[in-house]
């Protein structure tokens, strides 16, 4: 009973925390972020199983987390929860012009957009980008002008 | 507004149809719903003007009832921001989300600051020293505890006013049942269970004129408030109140 409640509380806390940290945080996982995730996992482990190393506890905690995730995916499909949990895409560049307010609020720099443009489309300049969109998974999708495609 | 009053006013709602125009139709009558209008007054809310359509709202949704001042003049260009891009963005919801995020970040930093100050234990905001009126001893403890985390409770005895060779420390039943005692320093000579679940510990005091320090290390068993009491010898009880975080 107690372990299920603890697992549910940790799940909800991490869900809200990662949502509040923003889309870019989830997408751009640097080496340091990876180490940070490991530390978070280690800190979470103690709270989840406390001092009970039994197989039963491990199975119950894992079941709780996976089934909560399943329940959330159902809720996202059948209610308006999806936009709340996943967010909505944000247009960062429209017709070659960066939208400063959206960049600032999303914590995305010009360099991030140009990097995505170089990596995904082989573009060289901002004015070759028709649209840049910050997707709900944190990635930046680039739609180039037709004549700018190499 | 009661259901009967709603029925009398014949509330309608306007729903966006395939042709992009809001059509009036009978809808579920719920007080205060956006897009509901009475037959006579055109809008259920007196402070709002006529309904308006929103270009971005899909077919079948209730049309919004907006304030007169926010309706753009007829000559204003339509709000089509990205005609070449089919995207389900929602600028208003996005602005709201960014605002919530900014507020939540302040709140999260506030939690860290509170932790540094000791509002989750181990800090100046948590340490409490209590001395009952007329007592020749004082007790020092942490007010904010965390479940399963060990803490110290210290009793200081003043040798000038308590020239005894022994001391009895009592904790009441509420405290004793909520805390698991890990160890004493110095160790008590003996201990005894008293009425109401209270525990009494008998300590032999060292010779000398220095204040004597008795330390009890304990950890909370559960979580929530613990309203305990502690006394030395037959003296008055000191309130020992904790809150244990889960």
CB contact under 8 A, A89 and B148: no
Residue A49: its chain B contacts at CB < 8 A?
Answer: none
pLDDT tier at B55 (50, 70, 90 boundaries)?
very low
Determine which helix (DSSP H) or strand (DSSP E) holds A129, and give its type and residue range. Answer: strand A129-134
Angle (deg, nearest 10), helices A31-49 and A55-78: 110
The single residue listed with the structure tokens 């997408």 is A27
Residue A48: its chain B contacts at CB < 8 A?
Answer: none
Among left, alpha and beta (phi > 0; psi -120 to 50; other), residue A95 is left
- Picking from B82, B108, B246, the nearest residue to A91 by CB comes out as B82
Give the minimum alpha-carbon distance from B118 to chain A in angstroms, rounded to a whole number. Answer: 20
CA distance A72 to A66: 10
| pLDDT of the residue at B201 | 92
Q: Can you say whether the dihedral through the CA atoms of A24, A29, A35, A38 is positive or negative?
A: positive
CA distance A26 to B84: 28
Nearest to B143 by CA among B169, B120, B164: B120
CA distance B11 to A95: 45
Strand B212-220 and strand B199-204: the pairing is unpaired
CA distance B55 to B80: 8
- Evaluate whether B100 touches B90 at the Cβ level (below 8 Å): no
- Picking from A50, A88, A94, the nearest residue to B88 by CB comes out as A88
B110 CB neighbour count, 10 Å cutoff? 11
| pLDDT of the residue at B152 | 92
Residue B85: its chain A contacts at CB < 8 A?
Answer: 91, 94, 131, 133, 143
| Higher pLDDT pick, A83 / B4 | A83
Q: Can you say whether the dihedral through the CA atoms of B64, B70, B76, B81 is positive or negative?
A: negative
| pLDDT of the residue at B76 | 40
Output Rg (C-alpha) for chain A, integer angstroms: 20
Strand B179-185 and strand B144-146: the pairing is unpaired
CA distance A111 to B167: 71
The single residue listed with the structure tokens 């300049």 is A125
Residue B52, pLDDT above cutoff 70: no
A20 burial (CB, 10 Å; 0-12 / 13-18 / 19+) is middle
Residue B48, pLDDT above cutoff 90: no
B155 CB neighbour count, 10 Å cutoff? 22
Predicted ipTM > 0.85: no
- Evaluate whether A94 touches A131 at the Cβ level (below 8 Å): yes
Nearest to B56 by CA among B28, B27, B93, B30: B93
Give the minimum alpha-carbon distance from B215 to chain A in angstroms, rounded to a whole number. Answer: 26
**Tokens coding B235:** 């003296």
| pLDDT of the residue at B13 | 58
The predicted model gives B33-59 an average pLDDT of: 45
CB contact under 8 A, B85 and A143: yes
Nearest to B120 by CA among B96, B94, B151: B151
Out of A14-18, A146-150, B111-115, B214-218, which region has the weakest mean confidence (pLDDT)? A146-150
What is the signed CA dihedral for A112, A115, A116, A120, rounded to 10 degrees?
180
pLDDT tier at B86 (50, 70, 90 boundaries)?
confident
Residue B119, pLDDT above cutoff 80: yes
Per-residue pLDDT of chain A (150 residues; tens, 9 = 90+): 788 888 999 999 988 888 888 766 556 677 888 888 889 888 888 888 877 888 888 899 999 999 999 998 888 877 777 777 778 888 999 888 899 888 988 888 899 999 999 999 899 888 899 999 998 888 899 999 887 555
Q: What is the DSSP letter of B70?
A: G
The predicted model gives B175-180 an average pLDDT of: 92
- Evaluate whether A132 touches A92 at the Cβ level (below 8 Å): yes
Q: What per-residue string of b and e applies to B30-57 under the rule 16 or more CB within 10 Å gives b?
A: eeeeebbbeeeeebbeeebbebbeeeee
Q: What is the DSSP letter of B62?
A: B
pLDDT tier at B142 (50, 70, 90 boundaries)?
very high
Residue B195, pLDDT above cutoff 70: yes
Chain A residues interacting with chain B (CB cutoff of 8 angstroms)? 9, 17, 20, 22, 50, 83, 87-91, 94, 105, 130-131, 133, 143
């Amino acid at each position: 009973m107690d372990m299920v409640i603890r697992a549910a509380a940790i799940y909800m806390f991490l869900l809200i925390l990662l949502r509040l940290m923003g889309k870019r945080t989830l997408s751009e996982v640097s080496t340091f972020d990876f180490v940070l995730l490991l530390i978070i996992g280690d800190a979470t482990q103690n709270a989840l199983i406390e001092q009970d190393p039994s197989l039963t506890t491990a199975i119950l905690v894992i079941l709780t987390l996976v089934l909560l995730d399943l329940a959330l995916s159902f809720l996202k499909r059948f209610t308006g929860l999806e936009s709340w949990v996943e967010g909505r895409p944000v247009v960062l560049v429209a017709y070659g012009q960066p939208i400063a307010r959206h960049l600032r609020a999303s914590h995305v720099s010009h360099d991030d957009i140009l990097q995505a443009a170089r990596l995904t489309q082989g573009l060289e300049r901002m004015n070759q980008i028709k649209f840049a969109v910050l997707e709900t998974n944190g990635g930046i999708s680039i739609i180039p002008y037709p004549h700018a495609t190499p | 507004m009661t259901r009967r009053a709603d029925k009398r006013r014949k509330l309608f709602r306007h729903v966006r149809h395939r042709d992009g125009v809001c059509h009036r139709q009978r809808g579920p009558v719920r007080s205060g719903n956006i897009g509901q209008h009475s037959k006579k007054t055109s809008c259920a809310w007196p402070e709002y003007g006529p309904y308006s359509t929103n270009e971005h709202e899909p077919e079948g949704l209730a049309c919004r009832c907006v304030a007169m001042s926010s309706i753009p003049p007829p000559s204003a260009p339509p709000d089509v921001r990205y005609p070449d891009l089919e995207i389900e963005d929602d600028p208003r919801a996005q602005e709201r989300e960014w605002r919530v995020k900014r507020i939540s970040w302040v709140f999260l930093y506030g939690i860290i600051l509170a932790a540094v100050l000791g509002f989750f234990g181990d800090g100046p905001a948590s340490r409490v020293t209590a001395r009952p009126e007329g007592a020749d001893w004082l007790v020092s403890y942490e007010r904010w505890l965390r479940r399963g985390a060990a803490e110290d409770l210290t009793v200081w005895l003043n040798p000038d006013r308590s020239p005894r060779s022994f001391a009895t420390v009592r904790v009441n039943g509420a405290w004793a049942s909520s805390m698991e005692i890990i160890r004493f320093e110095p160790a008590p000579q003996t201990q005894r269970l008293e009425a109401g679940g209270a525990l009494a510990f008998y300590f032999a005091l060292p010779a000398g004129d220095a204040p004597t320090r008795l330390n009890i290390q304990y950890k909370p068993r559960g979580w929530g408030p613990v309203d305990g009491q502690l006394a030395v010898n037959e003296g008055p009880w000191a309130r020992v109140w904790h809150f244990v975080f889960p």
